[in-house]
């Protein structure tokens, strides 16, 4: 049976990095017996330009007929002035919501070859291996009411941070299950000292822990403290579970432990669908220059193999090929430090493909 992958390169550096990930899929087909086919669709700004919407009906049909989605990045200055529902970011939020992708896995693993690439001290980050489990289709990103209105002659903007018990329970379950396969520790992050929604979050996580996951070590942290602890002593964390907004912020922060946001893949999973994308954005400033780091997207393919395609064996091979490429000293410009030479986006992709071929023989 052929596996069908919807490929949505999106904007900015999206097409460049996705192109390298697709090369990797090609090698997996040719040399490792993967039977994948893929079809491209639009998302984000290019979706608006080509198909009239940041998440068009054509793309919706494509992804619903696919086994998994590989996405690049969305956004750019060109579309910033559009009405909010037409902006690239709205397309990303809509596809997450439409596919019910409530659980966003954002692993931060420090690669020993890149210890010096981080702005943090090597002794602080050595051995860091954190999984941020971010709730992705609720919270303040989607809560109603929201808007900008004029009251007493001045404008007033508002959003609503809302979580129901069932939403908290399902993301909590995801985190506890993930922890059981790792170091068995979950840290739940919220702002329960101030926010009612966070107080409920904490109580539901405690109840869930007591009733079903008492074997997992659970701790709680306020988000401000968590932001500090992440750079003070990141090794204390195994799995972090948190809401949509806090997860967005903390996962960008956590990425800096690895030296470059260009290293971090993600998986967004629901009951049925899986979507895979780097956590970084579209980087319009370097788009089209063949300079971006494709490793986060290539590592997202590994997550796709693991979570959607039931090919953990191939996921490990892709991760090994990335390690071997880093071992060989191949660096894109974001990873090069202390006068190290750097290669282009496509050369990095080629290097990973060559490392894969070597593992095949």
Q: Annotated catalytic sites, by residue?
A: 141, 191, 224, 248, 252
92 binds ligand IPM per the rule CB under 6 A = yes
Asked if 143 contacts 161 with a C-beta cutoff of 8 angstroms, the reply is: yes
Indicate the residue among 89 and 129 with the shorter CB distance to ligand IPM.
Answer: 89
CA distance 105 to 199: 23
Indicate the residue among 82 and 124 with the shorter CB distance to ligand IPM.
Answer: 82
C-alpha span between 333 and 361 (Å, rounded) = 30
**Cβ count within 10 A of residue 51:** 16
Q: Which does 352 bind (CB under 5 to 8 A by kind): ligand IPM, Mg ion, none?
A: none
Residue nearest to ligand IPM (CB): 89
Binding track, positions 10-49, relative to ligand IPM; x by CB under 6 A: ----------------------------------------
Min separation Cβ 75 and ligand IPM, Å: 6
Site string for ligand IPM, 260-299 (x = CB under 6 A): -------------------x--------------------
Task: Tell me the C-alpha distance between 231 and 125, whole Å.
Answer: 9
Q: Which is nearer to ligand IPM, 19 or 268 (CB)?
A: 268
Pairing of strands 103-109, 129-135: antiparallel
Q: Where are the alpha helices (DSSP H) in the chain?
A: 14-32, 44-51, 57-64, 88-98, 122-125, 165-180, 196-212, 223-232, 244-255, 295-307, 312-327, 345-360
- Answer for which of 67, 89, 98, 253 binds ligand IPM (CB under 6 A) is 89
Q: Which is nearer to ligand IPM, 60 or 185 (CB)?
A: 60
Q: Least distance from C-beta 252 to Mg ion, angstroms? A: 6
Contact by Cβ (8 Å): 88, 54: yes
Find, among 103, 117, 62, 112, the residue nearest to 241 by Cα: 103
CA distance 355 to 348: 11
Report d(CA 28, CA 22) in Å as an integer. Answer: 10
Whole-angstrom Cα distance, residue 116 to residue 336?
Answer: 9
Judged by CB, which is closer to Mg ion: 93, or 333?
A: 93
Question: What count of other Cβ atoms lies within 10 Å of the Cβ of residue 114?
Answer: 18
Nearer to ligand IPM among residue 80 and residue 165 (C-beta): 80
User: Please, what is the minimum distance in Å from the beta carbon of residue 361 to ligand IPM?
Assistant: 37
Tell me: does residue 199 bind ligand IPM (CB under 6 A). Answer: no
Q: Binding to Mg ion by residue 135, rule CB under 5 A?
A: no
Element (H, E) at 37: strand 36-40
Give min distance, CB of 37 to ligand IPM, in A: 27
187 vs 264, beta carbon nearer Mg ion: 264
- The contacts of residue 331 (CB under 8 Å, 6+ apart) are 340, 341, 342, 343
Residues of this chain, 232-261, that bind ligand IPM according to CB under 6 A: 248
State how far the Cα of 198 lies from the Cα of 162, in Å rounded to an integer.
9
Tokens of residue 87, six digits: 């902006």
Within positions 245 to 274, which residues make up the interface with Mg ion, using CB under 5 A? 248
Binding flags for ligand IPM, 313-342, as an x/- string (CB under 6 A): ------------------------------
> Residue 6: left if φ>0, alpha if ψ -120 to 50, beta else—which one?
beta
Number of amino acids touching ligand IPM (CB under 6 A): 5
- Give the shortest CB-293-to-ligand IPM separation in angstroms: 17
**How many residues bind to Mg ion according to rule CB under 5 A?**
1
CB of 279 to ligand IPM, least distance (A): 6
Binding stretches for ligand IPM (CB under 6 A): 75, 89, 92, 248, 279
Binding stretches for Mg ion (CB under 5 A): 248
């Amino acid at each position: 049976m052929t596996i069908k992958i919807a490929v949505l390169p999106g904007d900015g550096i999206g097409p460049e990095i996705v192109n390298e990930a697709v090369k990797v899929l090609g090698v997996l087909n040719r040399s490792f017996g993967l039977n994948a086919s893929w079809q491209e669709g639009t998302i984000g700004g290019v979706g608006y330009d080509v198909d009239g919407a940041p998440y068009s009906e054509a793309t919706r049909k494509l992804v619903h007929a696919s086994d998994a989605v590989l996405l690049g990045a969305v956004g750019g200055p060109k579309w910033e002035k559009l009405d909010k529902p037409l902006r690239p970011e709205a397309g990303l939020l809509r596809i997450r919501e439409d596919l019910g992708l409530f659980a966003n896995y954002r692993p931060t693993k420090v690669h020993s070859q890149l210890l010096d690439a981080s702005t943090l001290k090597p002794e602080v980050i050595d051995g860091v291996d954190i999984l941020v489990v971010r709730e992705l289709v609720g919270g303040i990103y989607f809560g109603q009411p929201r808007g900008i209105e004029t009251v007493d002659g001045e404008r007033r903007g508002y959003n609503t941070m809302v979580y129901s018990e069932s939403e908290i329970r399902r993301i909590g379950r995801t985190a506890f299950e993930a922890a059981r396969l790792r170091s068995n520790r979950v840290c739940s992050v919220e702002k329960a000292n101030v926010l009612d929604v966070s107080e409920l979050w904490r109580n539901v996580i405690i109840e869930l822990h007591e009733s079903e996951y008492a074997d997992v070590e659970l701790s709680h942290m306020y988000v401000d403290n968590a932001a500090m602890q992440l750079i003070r002593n990141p090794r204390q964390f195994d799995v972090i579970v948190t809401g949509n907004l806090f997860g967005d912020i903390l996962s960008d922060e956590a990425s800096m432990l690895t030296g470059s946001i260009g290293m971090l893949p993600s998986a967004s999973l629901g009951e049925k669908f899986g979507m895979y994308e780097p956590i970084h954005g579209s980087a319009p400033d370097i788009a089209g220059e063949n300079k971006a780091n494709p490793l986060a997207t290539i590592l997202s393919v590994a997550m796709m193999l693991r979570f959607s395609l039931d090919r953990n064996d191939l996921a490990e091979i892709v991760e090994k090929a990335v390690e071997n490429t880093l071992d060989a000293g191949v660096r894109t410009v974001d990873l090069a430090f202390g006068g190290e030479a750097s290669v282009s986006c496509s050369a990095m992709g080629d290097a990973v493909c060559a490392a894969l071929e070597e593992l095949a023989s």
